[in-house]
Structure 1
Amino acid sequence: MDIDLLKTFLEVNKTRHFGRAADNLYLTPAAVSARVRQLEQILGVELFLRTRNNIQLTLEGERLL
């Protein structure tokens, strides 16, 4: 597993925002989203519940922390 995927997951969890996480990681929001999706595919679970104005960890996301 790529350590950058885990760093991205942690930053999104910390900021609760893909755009702010992208700024902090010097990436685009699309790249952050792609990394989170890739990690979710590797693990076979959804890590975040995404709504228009909110990002929450799923139970699986909490376990990964």
Structure 2
Amino acid sequence: MDVPLELSAYTRVLKLASTPGWEEFSQIALIAGAGILLVGLMGFIIFLVMGVVPGTGI
């Protein structure tokens, strides 16, 4: 992996970067929250199935 040691490479990236507006931030937060809830729900369903099906319980 080639990591540039020149400061100009980092300043160029920082100049291109911009902070998101409120609409973009809220949309990203909503999608990330929905993903977290979906993964948690899937884990809970697997936990329930593991407890109900004989021989797979903890």
The structure with the larger Rg is 2
More strand by share: 1
> Same fold, TM exceeding 0.5?
no
**Normalising to structure 2: TM-score of the pair?**
0.30
Bigger relative contact order, structure 1 or 2, given CA contacts below 8 A and separation 6+? 1
> Which one has a larger percent helix, Structure 1 or Structure 2?
2
